[in-house]
Amino acid sequence: MDIIAATRHGKVRGRVDGPIASYLGIPYAAAPFGVHRFRAPAPVEPWEGIRDALEFGPTAPQRPYRPPLDQLIPDVDIPGEECLNLNVWAPRAVGEPLPVLVWIHGGSLRNGSAAMPLYDGRAFARDGVVLVSVNYRLGVEGFGVFPDAPDNRGLLDQIAALTWVRDNIAGFGGDPGCVTVCGESAGAISIAALLTSPRAAGLFHRAILQSGPPHTVTRDEGARTVRAMAKALRVPATAEGFAGVDRERLLDVQDELVGRADPVSGGPGFHIVVDDDVVPADPPPPSVDLLLGCNREEYRLWFVPSGAVERVSRLTLRLALLKFRIPGRVARLYRAGRPDAKPGVILGEMATDLLLRGPLNRLADSRLTDSRPGGPRPSDSRLTDSQPGGSRPARTFFYEFAWRSPVLELGACHALEIGFVFDNLRHGEALSGPDAPQPLADAMHRAWVDFTTSGDPGWTAWDTRRPVRVFDHPGTSTVLAPRQEELRAWL
């Protein structure tokens, strides 16, 4: 059965399936092709009549993950130019305006889409949350740094989508004054930038960061990948020069240069850059409620399927310690806690803490006491807009996902938690297997729903005791300061 909703650009036709209404492929900005390519997102042109929103819209140009990741995280490729689109799932019958959760997908800023079946928003709509998932420009189109184009175009796309939510979500039953933005990996890194961006101020009221800490680079560092691509393409390292290259050729060269890189072992890639416009050099502390955390064995998604756990020798480990400037005392501490572990496991555990768990802990700690001279503790500070109406100061909640997947010995690897958050285990089987515990999905999904609705996921907020909600099966519980000796070693 069809259902009609109104936006500022025109009416859209969605589909009703039981108690859930879905609207797919709604454009929130003009197609980033032709005169709009390598430019900030432009307004979408209004349309007459009723536009069908029955199928997912085009995805951002990209190449699939390389084997074996392509089997574990299958990409969706939908051709077409209107790739700046979003999807909405909402209860069919709405009374009072409902809280809104905006999902920003991950993929190293070069892969992924809102059309992945794993991100189906039905379970959130079932539980009284309007779920919006967003496509944005990826790779060199969205995050390539050029002297003749705006920086952080993919981030500007996300801001344009959040602006669309503010202006239109009431027509789908959502409350524009109660918006939570949520993302995983590169999506979480994007949100960390949005938290401090003046362009995004007031567009959301809470944030969830899954396995992605704040991370930005300078414009010069961000331009290295563009310079390397320009050399391979034999064109100037400018937006004008790249615009003259066939898009398929551009994607081939991009994949050749960055396709083998990953967050743990490094390599050339795409980054959010400090531009003093969208992303300030001296960002203010986030003033909204945060839910953040990571998975216990993030590294295993990259180290296990590729065989790196077995290939890393003692010599390789020593060279990695030198490359990442890891003090010997830190390595000895990790070895002492894992006397039987292979060098690849030791390296992976340290990399997880260095790149993810440590920075996220520091972000949580930074919100306990304002770092500025004489800065107040949140309990003493004036009220923020972390809640509609500004009823109390912002809080931080920390989690860890610890359930271990039996698939390929992936363990509690990167991205495994997503199927549990979305209560969508069927479409997460590539990572979790067919027998993932539904009670764990119930618990994790409920925490995300509760945080989106009230700002309280159901456990103690972060304080000097460092409470961490450990999601596992059986036995989800709150643990105080897990593995703090190892985390403190990085200070």
Catalytic residue among 414, 417, 432, 445: 414
CATH superfamily to which 2-258 belongs = Alpha/Beta hydrolase fold, catalytic domain (3.40.50.1820)
Catalytic residue among 298, 349, 400, 486: 298
- Tokens read off for 328: 């010997």
* 357 DSSP 8-state letter: I
43-49 — which CB contacts under 8 Å span 24+ positions? 44/9, 44/84, 45/9, 46/8, 46/9, 46/10, 47/9, 47/10, 48/10, 49/10, 49/11
Please give the Cα distance from 319 to 420 (Å, whole number): 37
Catalytic residue among 22, 108, 113, 185: 185
Over its length of 491 residues, how does the chain's per-residue pLDDT go in tens digits? 899 999 999 999 999 999 999 999 999 999 999 999 999 999 999 999 999 999 999 999 999 999 989 999 998 999 999 999 999 999 998 789 999 999 999 999 999 999 999 999 999 999 999 999 999 999 999 999 999 999 999 999 999 999 999 999 999 999 999 999 999 999 999 999 999 999 999 999 999 999 999 999 999 999 999 999 999 999 999 999 999 999 999 999 999 999 887 777 677 899 999 998 999 998 877 889 999 999 999 999 999 998 989 999 999 899 888 888 888 899 999 999 999 999 999 999 999 999 999 999 999 999 986 433 333 333 332 223 444 444 578 999 999 999 999 999 999 999 999 999 999 999 999 999 999 999 999 999 999 999 999 999 999 999 999 999 999 999 899 999 999 999 999 87
- Give me the pLDDT at residue 432, please: 97
- Give me the pLDDT at residue 268, please: 87
Please give the Cα distance from 358 to 301 (Å, whole number): 19
Angle between helices 314-323 and 343-352 (to 10 degrees): 20
- Give me the pLDDT at residue 130, please: 98
Please give the Cα distance from 160 to 254 (Å, whole number): 26
185 as an active site residue: the answer is yes
In sequence order, the 6+-apart residues with CB closer than 8 A to the CB of 275 are 151, 152, 219
Q: Is residue 289 helix, strand or coil?
A: strand
In sequence order, the 6+-apart residues with CB closer than 8 A to the CB of 396 are 289, 290, 291, 292, 363, 364, 367, 461, 462
- Tokens read off for 353: 């803490």
- Give me the pLDDT at residue 381, please: 28
Token pair 């072992």 is found at: 265
| Residue 360: φ, ψ to 5° | -70, -40
Please give the Cα distance from 408 to 377 (Å, whole number): 45
Please give the Cα distance from 338 to 299 (Å, whole number): 16
